[in-house]
Amino acid sequence: MPEIRIHEKIFNEFRTFRRGIVVAVNLKNDGPSTDLEAMVDEAISHAAAEPIDIKTDPRTIVWIEAHRQFGSNPNKFPPAHCALLKRVQKKGTKIPFINKIVAIMNYNSITGITPVGGDDVIRAGGTLELRPAEGNETFVPLGNPEKSEHPEPGEIIYVVSESGDVMCRRWNWRNGHNTRITEDTQAIVMNIDGLGEGNEPKTIATRDRVAEMLETFCQADTTTTLLSPSQPTWSFEI
């Protein structure tokens, strides 16, 4: 049975961290969705019309400071949702429609101003863990399958424990190629990350909206939970 776990060091150093989890199976991720594309376009337009200051807004600065805390330079390696927000806050920006699940991730990252990411759990296999890197794990960057690199020791990574295959570097900076979500993906684990005082209700609300959208647009069967200091691990079926 697959398991997700958060290393105790993460919760010890980031006590307010919460990870909302959505497991979605029996997915239909192929083909377009004009309704979903329209929702993403509207979210982008709203972000451009009412931009936030990413360097000072509490919802983004908490992640920028977290990256500095574990030794990453957020100016060089920004959290993915901060980079996405910076991009879409420029008027006239469009982002490509890759597939329905990726569109759902983008929509909720923009509207929730929070990290939302996911992986093909069948491609991943094994135990999915958020933990400090030892430095001998392997990362293949998304879209660059011929490249292979190692994370920095102590860097927070999301990794398949048994294989050392890194699914995401620098907590939420860049996804890996091997567990990417494609139109053929049948089962995923989606992560909705919250950080900062009082984030738990918002994290749960975003998690539940992600689950609802996966059910509506991908006809998925979903299961949800919340990882926290009192529940750092969770096993699930696919």
Residue 76, in any domain of the structure? yes
Pairing of strands 3-6, 127-132: parallel
Residue 135, in any domain of the structure? yes
pLDDT 10s digits, 110-120: 999 999 999 99
SS3 6: strand
Query: Do 167 and 132 form a contact (C-beta atoms < 8 A)?
Result: no
pLDDT at residue number 120? 98
Domain CATH for 71 = 3.50.40.10
pLDDT at residue number 110? 98
Residue 237, in any domain of the structure? no
Number of domains in the chain: 1
Could you tell me where the DSSP H helices lie in 5-57?
A: 8-13, 34-49
Residue 235, in any domain of the structure? no
pLDDT 10s digits, 38-48: 999 999 999 99
Residue 138, in any domain of the structure? yes
Beta-carbon contacts of residue 93 (< 8 Å; ≥ 6 apart): 44, 48, 87
Beta-carbon contacts of residue 92 (< 8 Å; ≥ 6 apart): 48
Residue 106 CA to residue 110 CA, distance in Å, equals 6
Residue 4 CA to residue 102 CA, distance in Å, equals 21
Residue 169, in any domain of the structure? yes
pLDDT 10s digits, 169-178: 999 999 999 9
Amino acid identity of residue 204, one-letter, is I
Residue 111, in any domain of the structure? yes
Residue span of the structural domain in which 55 resides: 3-229
Instruction: Name the average pLDDT for the chain.
Output: 97
- Rg over CA atoms, the chain: 17
Residue 236, in any domain of the structure? no
pLDDT 10s digits, 98-146: 999 999 999 999 999 999 999 999 999 999 999 999 999 999 999 999 9
Mean per-residue pLDDT, 221-231: 98
